[in-house]
Chain A
Amino acid sequence: MHDPEYFLPLKSNWFCILLALAGGEQHGYGIMQRVLERTDGKIRLWPATLYGSLKRLIEQELIEESAERPAPEFDDARRKYYRLTVLGRRVLAAERDRLQDLVGALRKVEALE
């Protein structure tokens, strides 16, 4: 397994997807909707890009296909569900720390001014 640092800084598509999956497993359409909602409609992951990224994230073992299905009333049988792996979670955490450090550094500069 790769060191989480290896993936940093995360590509913005990857970051959006991992973030969308942080709240629980989701299918492609759901990921797209979550990203759209979270960014107030500013970022739309277009389908081909979305699945291209999903494929690579699976290859890198940051996410995996989920065998578990949600409650039957929410389930859409046609769709595959994806969820974060342990590595994926750690990568997301590492990215969070990196961004926090950056923001902290920025704040310090602002405080000096």
Chain B
Amino acid sequence: MNFALKMYRWLARAFPHEFKMMYGADVIQLGEDIVEDVARQNGVTGLARLVADIAIRVPVEYVTEMRRDLVYAVRTLAKSRGFAAVGIISLGLGIGISAVGVSETLNLLLRDAPGARDADQLVAVQGVSYPYFEHYRDQHDLFSAGAAFQPSVPFNVLLPGGGKPERLFGQLVSPEYFSTLGVNAARGRVFSPDLDKPGNSPVVFISDAFWRQKLNADPEAVGRTIRVNGQLATIVGIGPKDFDGAMPFFVSEIFVPTTVPPAMAPELSGDVIHKRESKGFIALLRMAPEVQLKSAEAGLDALTRHLDEDSLDPARNAKGRRVMLLPGGKILPIPRDLLPAVFTFMVFLDGLIVALACMNLANMQLARATARRKEVAIRLSVGASRFRLIRQLLTESVLLALGGGATGILLAFWVANLMRRMKLPFPMPIDFNITPDWRVIVVVFAIALVAGIGFGLAPALAATKTDLASTLKEGMVGQMRGYRRFGFRNILMVCQVAGSLTLLLIAGFLVIGFNRSNNVEIPFDSNTMYLLSLDPVRDGYSAEKAANLFDRLPQELQSAPGVRQVALAVTAPFSPLAAVSVLSATGQNGAPDQVVRGVARNAVGANYFASLDVKMLEGREFNSRDENIEPGPDKALPVVINTTAAHAFFADSEPLGRRIADSGKSYEVVGVVKDLSAPMSQTAVGQGNTVVPVVYLPLTKADFAHPPINGMIVMIRADRPGADTMQGVRSQLATIDPNLNPFDVHTLTEEVDSTQSYLRLATFIYGGIGVFGLILASIGLAGVTAYSVARRRKEIGIRMALGAQKRQVLALVLREGGGLVIVGCLLGMLAATGLSRALSAFSNILGPSFQAGTHDPRLLVGAPVLLAILAMIACYIPARRSTKIDPLNALREE
């Protein structure tokens, strides 16, 4: 009984302060009065109920109080709408922007490919030949299943209804593909090695999206025949709704087995299935249970080394790791080693943004807490507990933070939607799905909550730590501590200015760097050039017939009215290049070979440079004879190089007639051309260069026979802008062969625009981040200055009463703010410079941009000056109010 009473008393003291003040004593008293009765009548059960009753009521009372706090907080915030709006919007912007960043990263790196079973067990090896894959798959001690596939394969699909074939993207997959992924068909069947054998009549598997959009969800779709690349094929199955294929970053609507004849999938021509040199496949392997990634990797590495020894590949004795296992069940196979770097960058940038928003909120809360001192003092004096008041103020911050979180999520969805509609500079369709998922929403709300509590606590503590009597006596202002140089508020302010400037500078470096390194210079009116793509192999042509077509196509199109020049190319002019090849120039007179890394190759047809109005600096450009050269040991392919490449290979000596070689082939330099813009080119790690060395190769019969995934690009230079020239070109094409399907017809202006859209998005986002930082810093400064003015109201009043001029008072207030801004700016500059160095070492995409941007005087001088000006304006507005203080009023408040 004594124990029960002890528990009872202890619990009664745990009631919320307010309840305890009113009823605490009564509850204890009543308990003591009845405990003996209860023990006598009901025994232990009764005592237990007595204690249980109070144990339940304590939390109930807390919840009730919290609910009341919430109502009160909503009312207070509703009264100061401006404050609430600024708080919610700035936090929302911060959280929203970082949520997009987090979603993007989480999606690409961490989200499992939808539909795949046990996606964590899936690993992938890139650049594998089919025979090697077969060896990999048969390592049953390491892998329980395996498949080979090629993503982003274009197919010209003609539906049963007839009409024009449509160019769709899909995957070329080995028959084990679906069983390896663990995917079953929603209708029909999946491929299997038993049913799908070479020589069987061709079959295809389609995605749910294909079935719904292209076949109107026809229930009889399975068993129907469609034409794929001109060949008849039977639909054997339809995928489940959530299945987007392996690595769904690349959109896949149709799946074609590797057992179909090459006529239906030109990727298979040349007997690639049996060629160990054709490393165009991705091996998707499911690790056997209990097998660790490391051991699987080591096992595959040893196997590959063994297989390589039997080959004639000159690299067969190379040292180092041969196989790197990538996560196979994710949206995009990003090497695990890169994860920490990517995460650090993301966490850092997003953390900075959120921290800024939070610091800002804290500053605003501090300023507001000053204004509420009197309210707080009154409530304290009538008996409210400090804890209760702090909770009350915290409820407000948490409410603000949650409002900010909700705004942030809305913003994130909006930006995600904006990004999804943007065409990205890739030749194949990309599913850049950055829809914020539930994890991000959880993370965002967690951040918001932590921010709300963390940054609401300090102001709440400060607000409730007042000397009651003097606050009430002195009225509005309250007892203030003296000016402290290293006070919490000042440090916060300096951090905020420094953080904003860091953000502004980093964003500025990126924007200016992006724009500078990706500026496109076109020596003629880009509206006079049209680009169209042709892929005759997928229109049912044989390799020979396709080569033949391209051979005569330029001359035939040239005869269309208004056409000045026609040329062929594998990639559109002024589009991004991948500077990833390693080539070497043969040394002269016994000098060692000059090896150049990070060279871009670009295959172009005859008269390519003429059609771009680019004059050769030296030598000649390709003609149609170059396209018919059969390269052999004694016959080198002619190449044209740009000036950067000429310098890299031959320094200052004469490049014409010199030889360049890669692992297998040798080339002869026949011409030199100036550097052409290639925005967003992927440079080699550490190259840190915005202009890449380019080696132009002539198009050959092999290129004609297997056009790349974006088809062969036909560049048509017209005499003047306007679409009528294209009319003639189209009818000319139709007379050559009505079955040819030109696609992607657009002007060079549009081409450059769409490449730049990604840049514009980056500019928009990073610019937005920078501006956001600026706005935040200004709001914060204005808040702090307003606070400081309010705090020194009396002092200013006395000074003015003693004859101080308005100018002097203004200077006094501004000096304080100015000092903080200067210290903040200096720290910000240091941080930004250090960070941009660290970041450019991190990433070969950011590197060149940073290098181009960090030395820009517009930024290095402009950003701090801009921030300082804004900050001073932010200080000036509340400072001006200080000069309006009527000395009489200020003193009378004494």
Q: Which residues from chain A sit less than 8 Å from chain B, CB to CB? A: 28-29, 32, 41, 44, 46-52, 54-55, 78-80
Contact = CB atoms under 8 A, between A and B. Distances in A.
B54 A47 contact: yes
Interface stretch (B26-34, B192-200, B223-231): B26-34
A52 B57 contact: yes
Contacts, number: 46
Contacts of B60: 52
A51 B53 contact: no
8 contacts: A29-B33, A46-B50, A46-B54, A48-B58, A51-B26, A51-B27, A54-B23, A79-B29
Contacts of A47: 27, 30-31, 34, 50, 53-54
Given A29-B33, A52-B57, A46 B26 contact: no
B473 interface: no
Given A46-B50, A49-B53, A79 B26 contact: yes
Nearest to A31: B30
Contacts of A29: 30, 33-34
Interface in B1-44: 11-12, 19, 22-23, 26-27, 29-31, 33-34, 38, 41
A48 B29 contact: no
Interface string B665-687: 00000000000000000000000
Nearest to A53: B57
Contacts of A41: 41
B234 to A, nearest CB: 69
Interface residues of B, number: 23
Nearest to A50: B30
A73 B476 CA distance: 51
Interface in B32-91: 33-34, 38, 41, 49-50, 53-54, 56-58, 60-61
A48 B34 contact: no
A86 B626 CA distance: 107
A28 B41 CA distance: 20
A55 B23 contact: yes
Interface of B: 11-12, 19, 22-23, 26-27, 29-31, 33-34, 38, 41, 49-50, 53-54, 56-58, 60-61
A32 B30 contact: yes
Given A29-B33, A32-B34, A48 B27 contact: yes
Contacts of A32: 30, 34
B36 to A, nearest CB: 13
Main SS class of interface, A: helix
Contacts of B41: 41
Nearest to B24: A51
Given A47-B30, A51-B26, A51-B27, 7 more contacts: A46-B50, A47-B34, A48-B27, A48-B58, A52-B61, A55-B22, A78-B29
Contacts of B31: 47
| 5 interchain residue pairs of minimum CB distance | A46-B53, A48-B57, A48-B54, A51-B23, A47-B30
B326 to A, nearest CB: 61
Nearest to B61: A52
Contacts of A80: 26
A60 to B, nearest CB: 13
B57 to A, nearest CB: 4
Q: Which of A44, A55, A80 has the most CB of B within 10 A?
A: A44
A32 B11 CA distance: 20
A55 B30 contact: no
Contacts of A51: 23, 26-27, 30
A28 B26 contact: yes
A28 to B, nearest CB: 5
A4 B114 CA distance: 57
A78 B6 CA distance: 21
Contacts of A48: 11-12, 27, 53-54, 56-58
A54 B30 CA distance: 14
A28 B30 contact: yes
A32 B30 CA distance: 9
Nearest to A78: B29
